[in-house]
């Protein structure tokens, strides 16, 4: 089998987290199967120009090739265009976008830099898999440098519709650059459709069976919903004694838990969720003192515009809710800005009667899947899921689907979840588990790679015109 080359903004080093999450495991398995290279930023920034040589480590047939970013690259490429333009706009929040031409130029420069680092390492039959919104233009630069390998791209976040995409000033150049990939993969059919629409409208592409054509070049456009390793989550969730679960329930054996776990991000809908929980306490006094809502939300990207503000608002809301409703022996809302090891997190998910996953927009949302896989089959909890999470496409029959903009509706659904009879919970759990197994992490990577290896490469044709 030909080697696999994975490129992502960050690389999960083998010496890193003790229990890496879904994506890192999927990529690692794929690389180990065929041998290969994982190339990306090492997470460090250096002063001046980042022309340090690649640093490489090889383990289990995989070479990890990483490099630092110069401070200016970090500011423009990562903090600027990637996280203050692409992230908000792709999550349908152009109002939070902060476009600066210099940041866009920095973004292109770093994409070109990735291509320059990668090209000398390539063998003719290597298959290249590029991940996520930081690297939309990488394929175009590789083609410009004469790389003819199969190159696939997978977007982990949503792809916005054409009217929203158009709010990014260089939208045409971005759509054109993305047509350099042989396979463009998305979490949902709606994302794949939106991408195709943008390429037709803004990059002169024509639709054809299975994807798009621009001149001689073909792009296969597909839907590859990311999944989890169900058995691994279930195994971790069953840890016999969890100190954290015991601490949460301290003294109150009958206390019911509602749990949410997210990076602290405005796209995750935390404020709306807090409001829903408060409404639940208001409309159903019986829950007071009997249900606690646990929100785990480690801060992320605190140096990016928009994140400080949401954090301040959440601090205020959490303080107000606990001040208003709390009692000496009961804290209604446990709002914790910390990341936990997966081995700690999964038993917490299992201990909660309701998993509340209500992003305003999300590519997939793996927590929704992890919550269900972590449940005890004989007494499972209930998933309350936003209609705007990619996961809703697969989980709508088993989960209770809500509109995160309707706090009152969410409160009523929370109540329904807390009162749901055991037989219905089991039926929904079984249905969801079946889906999770069919679309698990291995299926995601196998389907994507089978398509990528199987495409008839059109790389010999003209490369797209990349911005200089
Ligand atoms: P994220 O936006 O990071 O990922 P998500 O899919 O929920 O969102 O994945 C987060 C992962 O981090 C999960 O495995 C979760 O368990 C873990 N995590 C979150 N909060 C944690 C905490 N407090 N402590 C420990 N672990 C925590 C992007 C897209 C998603 C898409 C994924 C994968 O935004 O839509 O599902 O990529 O494609």
Q: Which residues contact 140 (CB under 8 A, 6 or more apart)?
A: 111, 176, 177, 178, 180, 463, 464, 466
CA 398/CA 427 separation, integer angstroms = 8
Short-list 12, 23, 59, 5, CA closest to 444: 23
- Is 325 a residue whose pLDDT tops 80? yes
> Averaged over 274-278, what is the pLDDT?
98
Largest CA distance in the chain: 71
Confidence of residue 245 (pLDDT cuts 50, 70, 90): confident
The predicted structure's pLDDT at residue 49 = 76
- For atom 24 of ligand 1, the residue with the nearest CA is 339
Q: What is the pLDDT of residues 47-82, one digit of tens each?
A: 987 677 899 999 989 999 999 999 999 999 999 999
Measured in Å, residue 293 CA sits from the centre of ligand 1 at: 19
The mean per-residue pLDDT over the stretch 96-114 comes to 97
**For residue 25, pLDDT beyond 80:** no
State the virtual CA torsion across 265, 442, 208, 203 in degrees, nearest 10.
Answer: 30
3-state secondary structure of 261: strand
Average pLDDT over residues 213-226: 95
Residue 85 has pLDDT above 80, yes or no: yes
Measured in whole angstroms, the distance separating CA 237 from the mean position of its chain's CA atoms is: 21
* 65 CA from centroid of ligand 1 (Å): 24
With a CB cutoff of 8 Å and minimum separation 6, the contacts of 451 are 152, 183, 185, 220, 222
H or E element at residue 382: strand 382-386
In whole angstroms, what is the distance from residue 358 CA to residue 404 CA?
A: 6
DSSP class of residue 359 equals: -
Q: Which residues are catalytic?
A: 156, 362
Name the pLDDT band for 300 (thresholds 50, 70, 90).
confident
Tell me the pLDDT tens digit for each residue of 403-462: 999 999 999 999 999 999 999 999 999 999 999 999 999 999 999 999 999 987 554 456
Residue 247 confidence (pLDDT) above 90 = no
At residue 458, the pLDDT reads 59
Ligand 1 atom closest to Cα of 21?
A: 14
Q: Provide the token pair at 14.
A: 């083998």
pLDDT at 33: 86
Give distance in angstroms: CA of 113 to centre of ligand 1: 27
Cross-sheet strand order for the sheet of 4-10: 55-59, 62-70, 36-46, 4-10, 127-131, 150-154, 183-186, 217-223, 211-214, 206-208
What residues flank ligand 1, with Cβ below 6 Å? 21-23, 156-157, 226, 261-263, 296, 298, 339-340, 345, 362-367, 370
Measured CA to CA in angstroms, residue 414 lies from 164, 335, 357, 417 at distances of 32, 18, 11, 5
Average pLDDT, integer, range 261-272: 96
pLDDT for 422:
98
Cβ–Cβ under 8 Å, residues 187 and 149: no
Does residue 378 register a pLDDT over 70?
Answer: yes
d(CA 32, CA 29): 5
- Ligand 1 mean position, distance from CA 362 (Å): 10
Q: How many residues comprise the chain?
A: 468
pLDDT value at residue 306:
82
Q: What is the pLDDT of residues 326-341, one digit of tens each?
A: 999 999 999 999 999 9
* From 101-105, 211-215, 303-307, 382-386, the region with the lowest mean pLDDT: 303-307
Structure confidence by residue, pLDDT tens digits, 30-56:
898 899 999 999 999 999 876 778 999
Smallest CA separation from ligand 1 atom 23, residue: 339
Q: For the chain, what percent of residues have pLDDT higher than 90? A: 84
Confidence (pLDDT) at 285: 97
């Amino acid at each position: 089998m030909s080697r696999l080359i994975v490129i992502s903004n960050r690389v999960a080093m083998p010496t890193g987290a003790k229990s890496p999450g879904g994506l890192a495991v999927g990529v690692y398995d794929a690389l180990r199967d065929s041998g290969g290279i994982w190339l990306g930023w090492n997470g460090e920034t250096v002063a001046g120009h980042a022309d340090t040589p690649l640093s490489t480590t090889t383990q289990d047939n995989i070479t990890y090739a990483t490099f630092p970013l110069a401070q200016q690259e970090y500011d423009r490429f990562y903090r600027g265009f990637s996280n203050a333009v692409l992230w908000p706009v792709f999550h349908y929040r152009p109002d939070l976008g902060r476009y600066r031409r210099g940041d866009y130029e920095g973004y292109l420069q770093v994409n070109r830099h990735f291509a320059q680092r990668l090209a000398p390492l390539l063998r003719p039959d290597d298959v290249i898999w590029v991940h996520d919104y930081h690297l939309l233009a990488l394929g175009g630069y590789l083609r410009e440098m004469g790389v003819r390998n199969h190159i696939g791209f997978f977007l982990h976040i949503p792809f916005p519709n054409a009217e929203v995409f158009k709010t990014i000033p260089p939208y045409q150049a971005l759509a054109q650059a993305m047509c350099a990939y042989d396979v463009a993969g998305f979490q949902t059919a709606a994302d794949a459709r939106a991408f195709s629409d943008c390429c037709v409208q803004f990059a002169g592409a024509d639709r054809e069976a299975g994807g798009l054509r621009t001149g001689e070049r073909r792009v296969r456009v597909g839907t590859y919903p990311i999944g989890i390793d169900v058995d691994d989550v279930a195994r971790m969730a069953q840890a016999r004694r969890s100190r954290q679960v015991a601490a949460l329930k301290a003294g109150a054996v009958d206390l019911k838990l509602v749990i949410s776990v997210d990076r602290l991000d405005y796209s995750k809908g935390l404020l709306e969720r807090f409001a829903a929980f408060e409404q639940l306490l208001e409309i159903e006094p019986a829950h007071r003192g009997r249900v606690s809502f646990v929100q785990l939300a480690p801060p992320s990207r605190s140096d990016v515009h928009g994140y400080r503000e949401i954090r301040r608002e959440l601090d205020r809301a959490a303080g107000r809710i606990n001040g208003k409703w709390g009692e000496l022996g009961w804290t209604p809302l446990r709002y914790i800005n910390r990341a936990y090891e997966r081995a700690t997190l999964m038993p917490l998910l299992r201990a909660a009667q309701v998993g509340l996953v209500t992003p305003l927009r999300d590519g997939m949302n793996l927590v929704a899947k992890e919550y269900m896989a972590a449940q005890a089959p004989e007494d499972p909890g209930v998933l309350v899921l936003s209609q705007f999470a990619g996961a809703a496409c697969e989980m709508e029959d088993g989960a209770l689907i809500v509109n995160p903009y309707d706090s009152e509706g969410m409160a009523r659904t929370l109540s329904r979840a807390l009162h749901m009879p055991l037989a219905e919970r089991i039926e929904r759990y079984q249905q969801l588990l079946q889906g999770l197994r069919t679309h698990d992490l291995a299926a995601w990577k196998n389907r994507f790679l089978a398509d990528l290896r199987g495409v008839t490469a059109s790389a010999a044709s003209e490369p797209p015109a990349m911005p200089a």
